[in-house]
């Protein structure tokens, strides 16, 4: 219960910060441009079957880029601002604060899906299907949770990385492909599938596509479970890793930069 209250407090904190400093939501400005590119390809190729892909891919890419951006900066910002030591001296694990703050930005970032839909409908006059709206909403929420969990893990990994920006960049296109963001995993070479299926995006992307087009298998709740399960596994790993890094920093005196 305490953990939830702390996550909620971190959530409110980041909401207040984001309202005054919406830098992390810059993707909401650039995501429609991705939508234009993808939808141009889909519409000019007159491939209506891939319209759903053209709408979803910019949203997922936007969310993923936002997660990488947050993961790379959130802990480092706390250290440079002299708040990390105060966080460590409090009664709450730093990892809960990281997850709560990341969560709110990612939820706000889910607006990229709406933007992408708007570009398709208004910009291209496309008739975008949404056959299972209920499943779609659940899939978006599951995707946001898994994204926040994964970003929490990445935040811990990035602290340890000596080549942060190289690492950050390396986590873009391979994940778009393996996560089935650009094309469904089923269209990738078969030997890639086992690798794809350990990435939550591969489940959530299929789920989102299926909920829009109506091609959902009966086992779709299992896809939701896989998305949430992989996100939760990343979250737990992130919590453990951040807590371990903080403990190590207390030994090595690298908690803050002062």
Taking CB under 8 A as the binding criterion, the range among 64-72, 75-83, 203-211, 222-230 that sits at the site for another protein is: 75-83
Burial of 35 (0-12, 13-18, 19+ CB in 10 A): buried
Report the site for another protein in 7-26 (rule: CB under 8 A).
8-10, 12-13, 16-17, 20-21
Residue (85 or 131) nearer to another protein, CB? 85
Taking CB under 8 A as the binding criterion, the range among 89-97, 197-205, 224-232, 234-242 that sits at the site for another protein is: 89-97
Taking CB under 8 A as the binding criterion, the range among 27-35, 137-145, 217-225, 248-256 that sits at the site for another protein is: 248-256
DSSP-derived letter for residue 119 is I
Residue (82 or 221) nearer to another protein, CB? 82
Which residue has 């986590």 as its token pair? 171
Taking the complex as a whole, the smallest distance from the CB of residue 83 to another protein amounts, in Å, to 6
E strands, 93-144, are none
11 and 101 Cβ atoms separated by less than 8 Å? yes
141 and 147 Cβ atoms separated by less than 8 Å? no
Which tokens belong to 72? Answer: 């790379």
Taking the complex as a whole, the smallest distance from the CB of residue 236 to another protein amounts, in Å, to 21
2 binds another protein (CB under 8 A): yes
What's the rounded Cα separation, in Å, for the pair 137 and 252?
45
Q: Which of 30, 36, 85, 192 binds another protein (CB under 8 A)?
A: 85
Which tokens belong to 224? Answer: 């939701």
In 3D space, the residue among 164, 150, 142, 107 whose CA is nearest the CA of residue 238 turns out to be 150
Distance of CA 248 to the CA centre of its chain: 28
Binding positions for another protein, rule: CB under 8 A: 2, 5-6, 8-10, 12-13, 16-17, 20-21, 81-83, 85-92, 97, 250-253, 255-256, 258
């Amino acid at each position: 219960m305490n953990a939830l209250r702390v996550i909620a407090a971190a959530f409110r904190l980041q909401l207040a910060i984001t309202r005054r400093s919406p830098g992390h939501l810059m993707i909401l400005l650039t995501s429609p441009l991705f939508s234009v590119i993808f939808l141009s390809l889909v519409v000019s190729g007159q491939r209506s079957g891939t319209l759903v892909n053209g709408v979803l891919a910019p949203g997922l890419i936007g969310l993923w880029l936002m997660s990488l951006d947050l993961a790379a900066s959130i802990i480092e910002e706390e250290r440079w601002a002299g708040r990390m030591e105060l966080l460590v001296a409090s009664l709450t694990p730093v990892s809960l604060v990281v997850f709560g703050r990341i969560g709110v930005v990612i939820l706000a970032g889910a607006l990229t899906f709406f933007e992408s839909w708007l570009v398709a409908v208004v910009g291209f006059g496309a008739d975008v299907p949404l056959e299972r709206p209920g499943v779609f909403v659940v899939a978006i929420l599951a995707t946001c949770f898994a994204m926040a969990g994964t970003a929490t893990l990445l935040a811990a990994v990035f602290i340890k990385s000596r080549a942060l920006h190289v690492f950050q960049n390396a986590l873009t296109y391979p994940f778009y492909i393996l996560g089935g963001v650009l094309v469904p995993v089923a269209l990738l070479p078969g030997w890639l599938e086992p690798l794809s299926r350990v990435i939550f995006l591969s489940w959530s992307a299929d789920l989102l596509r299926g909920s829009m087009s109506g091609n959902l298998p009966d086992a779709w709740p299992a896809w939701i479970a896989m998305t949430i399960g992989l996100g939760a596994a990343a979250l737990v790993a992130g919590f453990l890793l951040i807590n371990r890094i903080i403990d190590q920093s207390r030994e090595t005196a690298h908690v803050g930069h002062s």
